[in-house]
Chains A and B, each alone.
Chain A
């Protein structure tokens, strides 16, 4: 079932990726976080207000003042020369997206995409243990404060963001059977 869902959602996201990549070349988005946000956003969702303004601010010098300041102080300088050629080739999609972002500004859809915050107990790329620990923390929290205690909501959010659903299902079954290996 999960595979089918993944297959259904894949084509539009690839399409989206294509457009985003083009824009990245031109727009020179400095922040990695913003790139991630764009990549993760479903087709209908637009980037948040701040991201849009940052892009605009950086796009203008990239398109207009590329030749003027070849040795600009920021890292944008190197990219801006590339941007000049890139924007010359594909101006239209950039405008399309700009107009889209303006709409987003007006509507303010307030869609906030978040995952669990970085936890310094789990500095590795592999976040398996992070997911598992958050799962345990949630169940310890509800055990101490009662089912549905608001203090525990954040742990639930964290482990649901980090853990594959299959694992959560397996662990839930193990807890029911009394075979869960973790320190609850």
Chain B
């Protein structure tokens, strides 16, 4: 089939995963609403939907991996399309976080009378930005540096160094997540403690969630590097993971400066 093809575009075979993913998403949303309104079977439908989505993700990406690594469908032009697609995905993620920063600044720049016109509101024991958040900043930035090391190792064809670099990247990522979890656990306020808690945990929580996704992405890349899937010419998956990781890094810098430091500043 490839031999008869006169262009370098990837015409995909029919796949059941788009519809299975859609059904999983439907079950998740309906189940989520049912669960949150204490309907019978809500939790079951929600879990079923999530399992369906996770299964779809697994098998779909398995197919993509076969198409690229084993069948060689990811030509230069296909790789270009994938890169464009991933860049657009990150742009949409930027907008997603923009909304949470907007919510945070909306609430903190002109605090309402209901919270006494002050930010942070009275009684909120803010986290000291010079402690764990400041420690986490170089950890995440080092992780970003390590992923660049991995990229250069791949480009230089040094397969072992690339694995080491990815292990370092993922280790630093896990340390970051561990510290964030620790800080959440001992935080003196919760997501239901005024608009401060809401905006703080919404923004930092979604960042943490993205760190976890990025870490999983990097772990997959590390395994694929170990298995020899990534080459000098074919490493779009790794490149996407690295971009994603840098994006998560930049979001953290904004979180640190505006929410932890400026937003937690007390006279």
Residues of A within 8 A of B (CB): 128-129, 132-133, 136, 180-183
Give bound CA distance, A181 to B114, whole Å: 7
B113 touches A183 (CB 8 A): no
Residues of A contacting B113 in the complex (Cβ-Cβ under 8 angstroms): 128-129, 132, 182
91-140 of chain B: CB within 8 A of chain A: 110, 113-118, 121-122
Given contacts A129-B110, A129-B117, 13 further A-B pairs with CB under 8 A are A132-B113, A136-B117, A180-B116, A181-B114, A181-B116, A181-B118, A181-B121, A181-B122, A182-B116, A183-B116, A183-B117, A183-B118, A183-B122
Closest-CB distance, B33 to chain A (whole angstroms): 34
Best-surrounded residue of B110, B115, B116, B121 (most CB of chain A within 10 A): B116
Give bound CA distance, A133 to B113, whole Å: 9
Residues of A contacting B117 in the complex (Cβ-Cβ under 8 angstroms): 129, 132-133, 136, 182-183
Residues of B contacting A182 in the complex (Cβ-Cβ under 8 angstroms): 113, 116-118, 122
- Count A/B pairs, Cβ under 8 Å: 24
Residues of B contacting A128 in the complex (Cβ-Cβ under 8 angstroms): 113
Residues of B within 8 A of A (CB): 110, 113-118, 121-122
Write the chain B residue with the least CB distance to A174: B116
Closest-CB distance, A42 to chain B (whole angstroms): 30
Write the chain A residue with the least CB distance to B115: A181
Residues of B contacting A183 in the complex (Cβ-Cβ under 8 angstroms): 116-118, 122
Residues of B contacting A136 in the complex (Cβ-Cβ under 8 angstroms): 117
Secondary structure class of chain A's binding surface, majority of residues: helix
Give bound CA distance, A132 to B112, whole Å: 10
Residues of A contacting B118 in the complex (Cβ-Cβ under 8 angstroms): 181-183
Give bound CA distance, A136 to B116, whole Å: 10
Residues of A contacting B110 in the complex (Cβ-Cβ under 8 angstroms): 129
Closest-CB distance, A140 to chain B (whole angstroms): 13
Best-surrounded residue of A128, A136, A181 (most CB of chain B within 10 A): A181
Write the chain A residue with the least CB distance to B116: A181
Give bound CA distance, A183 to B111, whole Å: 12
Give bound CA distance, A182 to B113, whole Å: 8
Write the chain A residue with the least CB distance to B118: A183
Closest-CB distance, A16 to chain B (whole angstroms): 33
Give bound CA distance, A99 to B113, whole Å: 48
Residues of B contacting A132 in the complex (Cβ-Cβ under 8 angstroms): 113, 117
Could you pull out 13 A-B pairs where Cβ atoms are within 8 angstroms? A129-B110, A129-B113, A129-B117, A132-B113, A132-B117, A180-B116, A181-B115, A181-B118, A181-B122, A182-B116, A182-B118, A182-B122, A183-B117
Closest-CB distance, A165 to chain B (whole angstroms): 15
Give bound CA distance, A180 to B115, whole Å: 9
Residues of B contacting A129 in the complex (Cβ-Cβ under 8 angstroms): 110, 113, 117
Residues of B contacting A133 in the complex (Cβ-Cβ under 8 angstroms): 117
Residues of A contacting B116 in the complex (Cβ-Cβ under 8 angstroms): 180-183
Give bound CA distance, A180 to B123, whole Å: 11
Closest-CB distance, B118 to chain A (whole angstroms): 5
Best-surrounded residue of B113, B118, B121 (most CB of chain A within 10 A): B113
Give bound CA distance, A128 to B114, whole Å: 11
Give bound CA distance, A182 to B121, whole Å: 9
Closest-CB distance, B73 to chain A (whole angstroms): 60
